[in-house]
Amino acid sequence: MTKNTLWTVLAVVGAIVIAWLVVDVVLGLVWFLVKILLVAVVALIVYFVLRTMMRSSD
């Protein structure tokens, strides 16, 4: 195995590790944003249901 082949193998392994970490971080952020969006939608639904219930009891 030549020196260039060794560096190529190490570069490929390093690229895979870095790509794995980047994808993990990006997917984590996307999942966090999806959760925030779902919480906002549910909060709006609950708000309008409570507002309707309070208005009809007056």
**Model confidence pLDDT, tens digit, residues 1-58:** 788 899 999 999 999 999 999 999 999 999 999 999 999 999 999 999 999 999 876 5
- pTM tops 0.75, yes or no: no
Q: Please give the Cα distance from 5 to 22 (Å, whole number).
A: 26
Of 28, 10, 7, the closest CA to residue 18 belongs to 10
Calpha distance 27→21 (Å, rounded): 10
What does the pLDDT read at residue 58? 58
Give the pLDDT score at 2: 85
Query: Strands, DSSP E only, in 1-58?
Result: none
